């Protein structure tokens, strides 16, 4: 995206850039609204329980929660340190991250990376409790403190043989999701679908779209998908986090994408868009660190 100044970007401002047919129904909630006022607006908009609540300015899925009832919503409002969004729950089971690059002046961009996100889950063996299954997997064990807060006594239940239990239904690396590089599946249909979305967004040339869909094949042909997040210049090409890749391979991918970003920035500068100053960049970095410390999981 073009340089928007030193302030961190509001997710609502980004959603307003995206054609409405591609995103979930979304309501902006100010931090001075009471839970009753906000919930009345949410329900009147046609959004029903369960729905998703997320910080308006956030990162790494911190503070993103599925809200099932009024009590949970009241708890979220009490916790929220700032403005937040309420989104209708999208029941699609697959999340994909698609990185897109287009130079200013080009009619069509290209996809430079695709990642499939496997939500943090455990599978029952008919003997072990949820707690034991969580502890047996390093990826879920790392999330144990948060999972104890979320599930409480439910962790003592024995999961039936073969039954999968999703612990964290969000495609965030920091919340336990596994990222799988599926760049080999990039095809002309997917390029056309993503390009159709991105060229309708004024000033968007570089970034990652996080998309929910039923199947990857349906996403490719533009059917049954919903964009739940777009990250611009600060977005990562998250296929680098596939465990099969080496650190040196990931560094090369980062450098490749930064080269794209540099080329786009130079072209934007020639069209009159200023660079972010070192001072403003440092300020954003400090704001980001402060925000991350506040956005603890509910």
Model pLDDT, residue 296: 58
Structural domains of the chain sorted by starting position, each given as residue range(s) with its CATH number in brackets = 25-89 (3.30.1490.20), 91-119+170-298 (3.30.470.20), 122-168 (no CATH)
What is d(CA 174, CA 238) in angstroms, rounded to the nearest whole number?
12
Spell out the residues 6+ positions from residue 3 whose beta carbon is closer than 8 angstroms to its own: 268, 273, 274, 275, 276
Angle at alpha carbon of residue 197, lines to 51 and 11, rounded to 5° = 45
> Is the dihedral angle over the CA atoms 15, 294, 232, 271 positive or is it negative?
positive
This model's pTM is above 0.95: no
10-residue averages of pLDDT along the chain (298 residues):
54 94 97 95 96 87 89 94 94 95 96 96 96 95 92 96 92 89 98 97 96 97 95 93 97 98 96 87 76 60
Query: What pLDDT was estimated at residue 4?
Result: 38
- How much is the pLDDT for 280? 84
Looking at residue 292, its pLDDT comes to: 65
* pLDDT computed for residue 294 by the predictor: 66
């Amino acid at each position: 995206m073009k340089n928007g100044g030193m302030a961190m970007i509001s997710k609502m401002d980004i959603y307003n850039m995206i054609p409405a047919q591609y995103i979930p129904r979304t309501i902006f909630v100010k931090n001075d609204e009471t839970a009753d006022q906000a919930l009345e607006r949410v329900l009147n908009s046609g959004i029903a329980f369960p729905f998703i609540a997320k910080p308006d300015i956030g990162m790494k899925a911190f503070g993103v929660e599925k809200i099932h009832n009024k009590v949970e919503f009241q708890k979220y409002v009490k916790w929220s340190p700032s403005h937040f969004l309420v989104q209708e729950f999208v029941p699609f089971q697959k999340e994909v991250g698609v990185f897109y690059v287009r130079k200013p002046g080009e009619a069509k961009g290209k996809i430079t990376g695709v990642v499939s996100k496997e939500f943090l889950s455990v599978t029952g063996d008919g003997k072990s409790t949820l707690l034991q299954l969580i502890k047996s997997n390093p990826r879920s064990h790392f999330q144990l403190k948060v999972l104890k807060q979320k599930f409480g006594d439910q962790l003592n239940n024995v999961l039936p043989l073969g039954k999968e239990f999703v612990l964290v239904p969000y495609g965030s690396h920091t919340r336990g999701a596994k990222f799988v590089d599926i760049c080999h599946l990039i095809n002309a249909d997917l390029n056309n679908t993503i390009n159709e979305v991105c060229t309708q967004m004024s000033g968007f040339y570089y970034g990652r779209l996080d998309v929910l869909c039923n199947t990857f094949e349906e996403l490719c042909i533009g059917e049954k998908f919903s964009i739940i997040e777009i990250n611009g210049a600060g977005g990562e090409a998250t296929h680098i986090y596939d465990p099969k890749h080496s650190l040196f391979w990931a560094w090369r991918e980062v450098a490749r994408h930064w080269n794209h970003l540099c080329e786009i920035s130079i072209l934007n500068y020639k069209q009159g868009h200023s660079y972010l100053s070192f001072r403003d960049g440092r300020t954003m970095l400090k704001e980001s660190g402060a925000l991350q410390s506040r956005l603890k999981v509910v």
